[in-house]
């Protein structure tokens, strides 16, 4: 609060408050502070929280930005809409720690685009942004942004905020070519759907690109979503980890077909895939999605559940035919505990994947793949200092 007050004392013309739905009360309190501390400042609300119906009447504001923000702000400030976008240079995190040990802020943020064309029924991001909006349209543009970050911050690792980065395969392949021609290899943590990964064909392309982490929606063992049709997740995840690519797999609990038996079938399925990290999330009807509209029309959304309680890591906020709200919390906790009991600590899984990558790349026949062994060696040396603590605990 004190830092925010000090900032408001500078007398800005605009203050943007970007928030997600569970942070509704925080955004509301910040808006009140702006009105009190700097009454002439205009308040812009942005982020997924703006999907809350009637948000303009719930939080004091002057403007609401829904969806893609650069065009919105340029129009608001009377700037040319077609002016080239210069990607910002900034770290992707701060105050990083592993087991309480501070580690350097050695990665930068990269936003090639927003949105996703898959538009899964439950996906807030896809429907918030509408069609995919690319900021960096070519591999050369992505590479140039990485080079600027390296020159200014000294980083070679990037957290890629793009719902499905590989959906533009020509951009991805050009990024590989740019790195290999210039002999400036970078590493990337990305989001990707399974069907996009399989469409790449040769997974070694991901190694050559420098991908070392993938967040992927597994969702359910049933072929419920187009993005997962026909995908053998066990093989895909095994082959990614064999190449040194850590996998965060995400599964959805309390889907329509889940009952006391089928929900555990899906939990067992996700755990059996043995990803490095496994995220269980309760199904969440978020305003703006077809799922929310369907559930609202069916009368499945109780009106007395506060916005700040509507997130996927506690109780569900809709009426489910097989589970009470109180039951869903324990089912979620038990799923995480089962994963830990059967697969062990995610940190150790990720370390194993790193060693797999070091072995895979250092002995590979393709020199372009062998080029990536140095990144795995560097990461393995960083992680080894935590082995003693991992053994103790």
pLDDT digits (tens, 9 = 90+) for 329-387: 999 999 999 999 999 999 999 999 999 999 999 999 999 999 999 999 999 998 888 88
Mean pLDDT, the chain, whole residue set: 95
> In terms of Cα–Cα distance, which of 189, 280, 281, 279 is closest to 240?
189
- pLDDT for position 382: 86
pLDDT interval class at 182 (50, 70, 90): very high
Q: Are 122 and 291 in contact (CB under 8 A)?
A: yes
3-state SS class at 91: strand
167, two tokens:
């959906």
33, two tokens:
């502070």
DSSP string, 230-253: T--HHHHHHHHHHTT-EEEEEEEE
d(CA 275, CA 384): 20
Average pLDDT on 247-272 reads 97
Q: How many helices (H) does the chain have, and how many strands (E)?
A: 17, 13
Q: For tokens 């991805």, what's the residue?
A: 172
261-284 pLDDT per residue, tens: 999 999 999 999 999 999 999 999
What is the CA angle 301-305-310, rounded to 5?
Answer: 85
> In terms of Cα–Cα distance, which of 147, 153, 247 is closest to 194?
247
Comparing 89-103, 168-182, 190-204, the range with the smallest average pLDDT is 89-103
Q: Are 44 and 16 in contact (CB under 8 A)?
A: yes
> In terms of Cα–Cα distance, which of 241, 231, 168 is closest to 203?
241
Average pLDDT on 298-311 reads 95
> In terms of Cα–Cα distance, which of 207, 222, 209 is closest to 170?
209
- pLDDT for position 341: 97
pLDDT interval class at 100 (50, 70, 90): confident
- pLDDT for position 132: 92
111-127 pLDDT per residue, tens: 999 999 888 999 999 89
What is the number of other CB atoms lying within 10 angstroms of the CB of residue 1? 8
- pLDDT for position 245: 98
**Residue 156, pLDDT above cutoff 90:** yes
228, two tokens:
């997962």
pLDDT interval class at 390 (50, 70, 90): confident
- pLDDT for position 97: 83
* Alpha-helical runs (H) found in the chain: 2-8, 24-37, 55-58, 69-76, 124-129, 139-153, 169-182, 194-199, 204-209, 233-242, 262-272, 290-297, 325-343, 346-362, 367-370, 373-383, 387-392
d(CA 43, CA 63): 6
pLDDT interval class at 180 (50, 70, 90): very high
C-alpha to C-alpha distances, 114 to 56, 75, 192, 331, 380, nearest whole angstrom: 24, 18, 13, 33, 32
Compare 1 and 99 and report the one with higher pLDDT.
Answer: 1
- pLDDT for position 40: 95
d(CA 174, CA 143): 9
Compare 97 and 283 and report the one with higher pLDDT.
Answer: 283
**Residue 287, pLDDT above cutoff 90:** yes
Q: Is 226 exposed, middle or buried (0-12, 13-18, 19+ CB in 10 A)?
A: exposed
List b or e across 108-142, with b for residues whose CB sees 16 or more CB atoms inside 10 angstroms. bbbebbbbbebbbebbbbbbbbeebebbbebbebb
Q: Is 325 exposed, middle or buried (0-12, 13-18, 19+ CB in 10 A)?
A: middle
Q: For tokens 């990607």, what's the residue?
A: 87
pLDDT more than 90, % of the chain? 88
347, two tokens:
């940190």
Comparing 88-97, 283-292, 315-324, the range with the smallest average pLDDT is 88-97
28-47 pLDDT per residue, tens: 999 999 999 999 999 999 99
pLDDT interval class at 94 (50, 70, 90): confident
- pLDDT for position 106: 85
């Amino acid at each position: 609060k004190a830092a925010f007050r000090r900032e408001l004392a500078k007398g800005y013309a605009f203050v943007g408050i970007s928030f997600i739905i569970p942070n509704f009360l925080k955004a509301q309190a910040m808006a009140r502070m702006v009105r009190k501390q700097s009454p002439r400042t205009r308040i812009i609300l942005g982020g997924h929280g703006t999907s809350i119906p009637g948000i303009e009447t719930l939080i004091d504001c002057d403007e609401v930005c829904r969806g893609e923000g650069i065009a919105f702000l340029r129009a608001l400030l009377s700037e040319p809409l077609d002016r080239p976008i210069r990607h910002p240079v900034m770290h992707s995190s701060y105050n990083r720690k592993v087991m309480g040990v501070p580690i350097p802020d050695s990665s930068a943020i990269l936003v090639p685009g927003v949105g996703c064309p898959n538009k899964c029924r439950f996906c807030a991001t896809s429907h918030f942004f509408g069609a995919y909006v690319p900021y960096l349209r070519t591999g050369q543009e992505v590479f140039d942004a990485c080079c600027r970050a390296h020159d200014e911050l000294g980083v070679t690792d990037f957290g890629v905020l793009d719902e499905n980065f590989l959906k533009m395969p020509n951009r991805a392949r050009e990024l590989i070519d740019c790195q290999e021609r210039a002999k400036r290899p970078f590493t990337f943590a990305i989001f990707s759907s399974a069907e996009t990964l399989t469409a790449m064909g040769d997974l070694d392309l991901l190694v050559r690109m420098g991908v070392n982490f993938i967040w992927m929606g597994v969702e359910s063992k049933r072929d419920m979503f187009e993005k997962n049709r026909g995908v053998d997740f066990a093989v895909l995840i095994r082959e990614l980890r064999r190449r040194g690519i850590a996998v965060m797999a995400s599964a959805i609990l309390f889907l329509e077909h889940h009952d006391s038996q089928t929900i555990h079938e899906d939990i067992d399925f996700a755990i059996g895939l043995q990803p490095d990290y496994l995220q269980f999330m309760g199904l969440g009807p978020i305003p703006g999605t077809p799922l929310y509209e369907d559930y609202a029309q069916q009368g499945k959304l109780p009106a007395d559940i506060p916005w700040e309680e509507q997130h996927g890591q506690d109780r569900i906020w809709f009426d489910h035919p097989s589970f009470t709200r109180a039951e869903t919390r324990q089912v979620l906790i038990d799923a995480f505990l089962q994963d830990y009991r059967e697969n062990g600590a995610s940190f150790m899984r990720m370390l194993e994947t790193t060693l797999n990558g070091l072995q895979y790349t250092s002995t590979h026949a393709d020199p372009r793949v062998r080029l990536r062994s140095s990144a795995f060696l560097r990461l393995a040396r960083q992680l080894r200092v935590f082995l003693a603590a991992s053994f103790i605990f």
